[in-house]
Structure 1
């Protein structure tokens, strides 16, 4: 039984590489796939780092994850054009969530409660010419990750729209995860005697009520998969 449990833990642990090794604030690092998946599930905007014309470029874009195939899909945008010119290029995708400001008694001890992940790898470019089925899969994953239920509700992409679209598919094989939570770290030090307030200022992201398009035809109702998210806290 212990052998089976060890094998289960090994399968869940992320592979540690030179790029993903936690060298600073190691206590905040994690090699758990569950922690990686939780960070990715909690958002849909990332920053994609690429090299363009021998210079770094960091592009904000939307992502979606297929947790079965362990694939991160990204809307290609500007970065995809640079990757077309330089295939086999390694990219870095970063996802960060801020959960609060950690306000300590000294400025040096201030910090942030956060959840973050960095994913490295060489993405595959999915286009209507190279992999039409893969492109549709990527667009579906992206859509459902951002707005569950929307892929079945809205019109699917036309052939012309697919021809103008590029999606990047990045395997979740190499990733680094860091997390911090809790109060300041100076509660048991000399600064605790200063008589200053210290604690955490939490930050939450909440979906507000849907705002209808002014061009909507009268009588078109908000679909349940959209209205049901109003005033709900994002993960």
Structure 2
């Protein structure tokens, strides 16, 4: 039912019992492009799963191609070996945009954009899809890098396990704007407002073994994550 509804409305995902935002539903967002933008701007996802009755949440890098999220790593990875079996997974990505300082301690908050994805990860066996996923990982870290570096060797590709997760059961949650205080507190002589935060890169530090005639590429010198 959900897959058919998503096909009929390609711009928005249909909420499920798991992906429906229940706490402060007005902050929920199911627009595909909003979800994709948050995923593309983030760098680290947290993968939640259960193995042998024990819950785990593992941070890892990821990449996106269309409506699929990819994670990768060593075949020896417990997380990847477990997910390869086809168990249910929950993946989260969060971007912190600022601190929200209220007049009361109770109403302090944060401005953020987050995505939660539910589904079953599958093992990528196709060499072509695997190659595209490896490119997506590199380009997600820094766009323009893939065409500049040495491509993976057959041995490196064979030594990498790639899993794919469909972006069909997902939602975003967004908080923005000033603090929301109790009406009686607005008269308090306490500074309140937003303290915006921004992810930024510092000056690149060359590898000590880098030859002097290799310039810093533009995609490194002008690096940024805002999408």
Could you say which residue in structure 2 is the equivalent of 1:108? 106
Aligned pairs, number: 219
Say if 2:184 is the partner of 1:190. Answer: yes
TM-score by length of 2: 0.90
Could you say which residue in structure 2 is the equivalent of 1:209? 203
Q: What is the alpha-carbon root mean square deviation over aligned residues?
A: 1.9
TM-score by length of 1: 0.87
Q: By how many angstroms is 1:8 displaced? A: 11
Note the 1:123-138 alignment, pairs <5 A: 123-126=121-124, 130-138=125-133
Question: Do the aligned residues in 1 keep the contact of 2:62 with 2:70 (CA within 8 Å)?
Answer: yes
Unaligned 5+ segments in structure 1 are 1-6
Question: Do the aligned residues in 1 keep the contact of 2:41 with 2:225 (CA within 8 Å)?
Answer: no
1:205-224 Cα deviation digits (max 9, x unpaired) = 11222111001122121222
Could you say which residue in structure 1 is the equivalent of 2:3? none
Unaligned 5+ segments in structure 2 are 1-5
- Helix, strand or coil at the partner of 1:219: coil
Say if 2:41 is the partner of 1:46. Answer: no
1:21-44 Cα deviation digits (max 9, x unpaired) = 111111111121121112112112
Say if 2:137 is the partner of 1:139. Answer: no
- 1:107–1:9 CA distance, 2 compared to 1 (3 A): farther
Could you say which residue in structure 2 is the equivalent of 1:4? none
Question: Do the aligned residues in 2 keep the contact of 1:206 with 1:234 (CA within 8 Å)?
Answer: no
Q: By how many angstroms is 1:97 displaced? A: 0.5
- Please identify runs of 4+ aligned residues in structure 1 that moved more than 6 A: none
